[in-house]
Amino acid sequence: MENFTYCSPTRYVFGKGTESQIGNEAAAIGAKKVLVVYGGGSAVRSGLLDRVCDSLKAQSIEVSCLGGISPNPVDGPVREGIGICRDNNIDTIIAVGGGSVIDTAKAIALGVPYSGDFWDFYSGKAVAAQALPVGVVLTIPAAGSEGSGNSVITLEAEKIKISLRTDFVLRPKFAIMNPELTFTLPPYQTASGIADMMAHIMERYFTPTENVEITDRVSEGVLKAIIEEAPKVMAKPDDYQARANIMWSGTLAHNGICGTGRKEDWASHAIEHEISAMYNVTHGAGLAVIFPAWMTFMAQRKPGKIAQYARRIFDVKETKDEAAALEGIECLKGFFGSIGLPVTFAELGVPEPDIDEMVRRLHINKGEIIGGYIPLRAKDTKEIYRLAL
Ligand code: NZQ
Ligand code: ZN
């Protein structure tokens, strides 16, 4: 195990009806004037946005709003939000939605106190050191942004999708998590969220670091719980207990606990981000296509940890590592298929992906070498894209 520092400072307020506490939570962190950021309309249709605004106003907090944030969020609304905050002396950002809304809220929070363009943080030109506080009302368990220090934004004109990672600066101050709010999710979004949270654990599980048994076992426990609860939420979208288990899994998958004491990989995410940047597919669905391809590449070269995953997660009995690994990958694909997810580019709706262009962009945006389990160069990432055809 490697040395590590672990701090997950977000205050999680979890359970039925908890969105009514947003006013109190915001007041407790000193909010006086907030910008409420939300998505394309689900929070308006469900009445959640009104409930959130009413709760804030009941605490004498002034409310401005910015809606219409799209999945795979882009830079335009971030700039608009920064302008609204400066014009109205906003002191706190509240995100009502999923990863796309939360990441936009974080980008706005970062941009307000900065004199240059917010994209400087994403391009690596500036280092994130301060941001306005961000609070979250989560409506989809998936990206884990409610507990992560990350924000993923696409520079629309150039289709460059960058994940900015910070240790603490961008961690939300609080996240309100009511599983009932997820009953209205379309099945494809529920399933894509499940693939994304599994991928967040697997990016940390497939590590070159040895002797991380405790972190392995924590990760395996969360993965096995997700696999058990997933069919229940797919079959019965208003199953509160299953929704609650899936919602908490999404946070544990990505708030850092599953990565303690080890190097993480993140090649599959980098590879996927080029797909969602170019073809605007749902991130989790893209991962359901790419992760099995990445694992297949690894099974042929360094099967040990993939075989351990196969045996511990899917109870594969095969004793030879490569064969066990390949059997585990088939189980994973079967699981994704069973909840309605694609496992090939064609099933994802991208029958003829421009692999050369994605590889070119990937290594310009993320560096010559990506990943940690086996570091990958352009010839390797090209093969992984091809394995996903
Ligand atoms: O926009 P609305 O109308 O709200 O609809 C959304 C959207 O269409 C809908 N939705 C959300 N909650 C709903 C609902 N529909 C009905 N009922 C509800 N309760 O779901 C759709 C997807 O929303 P989105 O926010 O895009 O989902 P997700 O949470 O999967 O976020 C994906 C984004 O997060 C990034 C991804 O790359 C992608 O851009 N990621 C962010 C990470 C982070 N910040 O730590 C890590 C991840 O690896 C990921 O890269
Ligand atoms: Zn992800």
Ligand 1 atom 41, closest CA: 143
Identify the residue whose C-alpha is closest to ligand 1 atom 15.
Answer: 185
Any idea which ligand is nearest the CA of 145?
1
Asked if 173 and 120 sit in the same domain, the reply is yes
Residue 25 tokens, joined: 């939570």
Does any domain span residue 74? Answer: yes
For ligand 1, atom 49, the nearest C-alpha belongs to 143
Please give the number of the atom of ligand 1 that sits closest to the Cα of 41: 3
> 18: domain CATH number?
3.40.50.1970
Determine, yes or no, domain membership for 157: yes
At 202 the pLDDT is 98
Q: Are residues 191 and 114 in the same domain?
A: no
Atom of ligand 1 nearest to the CA of 143: 47
Q: Which atom of ligand 1 is nearest to the CA of 163?
A: 50
Asked whether residue 242 falls in the same domain as residue 322, the answer is: yes
Among 98, 122, 118, 88, smallest CA distance to 39 is for 98
What pLDDT score was predicted for residue 12? 98
Write b or e for each residue in 263-297: b if 16 or more Cβ atoms lie within 10 A of its Cβ, otherwise e: bbbbbbbbbbbbbbbbbebbbbbbbbbbbbbbbbb
Asked whether residue 335 falls in the same domain as residue 197, the answer is: yes
Last residue of a domain, one of 148, 181, 214: 181
Ligand (nearest to CA of 99) = 1
Which helix (H) or strand (E) element contains residue 243? helix 240-254
- 367: number of Cβ within 10 Å: 10
Using a 6 Å CB cutoff, which residues line ligand 1? 39-43, 71-73, 97-101, 103, 139-140, 142-145, 148, 150-152, 163, 181-182, 184-185, 189, 193, 196, 254, 269, 283-284
Amino acid at 168: F
Do 174 and 191 belong together in one domain? no
Distance (Å, rounded) from C-alpha 389 to C-alpha 387?
Answer: 6
Looking at the fold, whether 169 and 259 belong to one and the same domain comes out as: no
Terminal C-alpha separation, the chain = 36
pLDDT at 55: 98
**315 Rama sector, left if φ>0, alpha if ψ -120 to 50, beta otherwise:** left
Under DSSP, the state recorded for 370 is B
Residue ending a domain, choose from 155, 181, 207: 181
- Spatial contact of 332 and 314, defined as CB atoms under 8 Å apart: yes
- Tell me, what's the pLDDT at 387? 98
Model pLDDT, residue 97: 98
pTM of the entire predicted model: 0.98
227 and 356 part of one domain: yes
Distance (angstroms) between ligand 2 centre and the Cα of 387 equals 20
Helices (H), the chain: 22-28, 42-45, 48-57, 75-88, 99-111, 119-123, 187-205, 213-235, 240-254, 267-279, 283-299, 304-314, 321-338, 345-348, 355-366, 378-387
Please list, in sequence order, all residues whose beta carbon lies within 8 angstroms of the beta carbon of residue 64, skipping any fewer than 6 positions away: 33, 34, 35, 36, 84, 88, 90
**Could you tell me the CATH number of the domain that includes residue 323?**
1.20.1090.10
Give residue 280 CA to ligand 1 midpoint distance, Å.
Answer: 12
Going residue by residue through the chain (389 aa), what tens digit of pLDDT does each one get?
999 999 999 999 999 999 999 999 999 999 999 999 999 999 999 999 999 999 999 999 999 999 999 999 999 999 999 999 999 999 999 999 999 999 999 999 999 999 999 999 999 999 999 999 999 999 999 999 999 999 999 999 999 999 999 999 999 999 999 999 999 999 999 999 999 999 999 999 999 999 999 999 999 999 999 999 999 999 999 999 999 999 999 999 999 999 999 999 999 999 999 999 999 999 999 999 999 999 999 999 999 999 999 999 999 999 999 999 999 999 999 999 999 999 999 999 999 999 999 999 999 999 999 999 999 999 999 999 999 99
Identify the pLDDT of residue 63. 98
Are residues 170 and 212 both part of a single domain? no
Q: Which two three-digit tokens encode residue 182? A: 């997820």
Asked if residue 4 belongs to a domain, the reply is: no
Query: Residues 383, 268: one domain?
Result: yes
Task: Identify whether 87 is part of a domain.
Answer: yes
* 3-class secondary-structure state, position 376: strand
Nearest to 144 by CA among 204, 228, 210, 74: 204
Other CB atoms within a 10 A radius of the CB of residue 68 amount to 12
Decide if 41 is inside a domain: yes
Containing structural domain, residue 163: 11-181
Phi, psi (degrees; rounded to nearest 5) at 13: -115, 105
Strands 160-165 vs 150-155: parallel, antiparallel or unpaired: antiparallel
Query: Which is nearest to 205 in space by CA: 319, 308, 336, 337?
Result: 308
The total of structural domains in the chain comes to 2
What's the pLDDT at 186? 98
Establish if 5 belongs to a structural domain. no
250-to-182, 208, 360 alpha-carbon distances in Å = 13, 24, 31
Q: Which of 103, 106, 153 to mutate to test the pocket of ligand 1 (most atoms within 8 A of CB)?
A: 103
Nearest alpha carbon to residue 95 among 114, 110, 108: 108
CB atoms within 10 A of CB 257: 18
What pLDDT, on a 0 to 100 scale, did the predictor assign at position 181? 98
170 and 238: one domain?
no
- Taking only Cα atoms into account, the Rg of the chain, rounded to an integer number of angstroms, comes to 20
For ligand 2, a single-atom ion, the residues with CB < 5 A are: 196
Q: Residues near 96 by Cβ (< 8 Å), separated by ≥ 6?
A: 36, 37, 38, 39, 43, 48, 49, 52, 136, 137, 139
In the chain, how many H helices and how many E strands? Answer: 16, 8
- Among residues 134, 158, 181, the one where a domain terminates is 181
Is the domain of 238 the same as that of 159? no
Tokens in use for 292? 């099995």
Atom 42 in ligand 1: residue holding the nearest Cα: 143
Residue 98 CA, closest ligand 1 atom number: 25
**Same domain flag for 162 and 224:** no
Classify burial at 230, counting beta carbons within 10 Å of its beta carbon; exposed 0-12, middle 13-18, buried 19 or more: buried
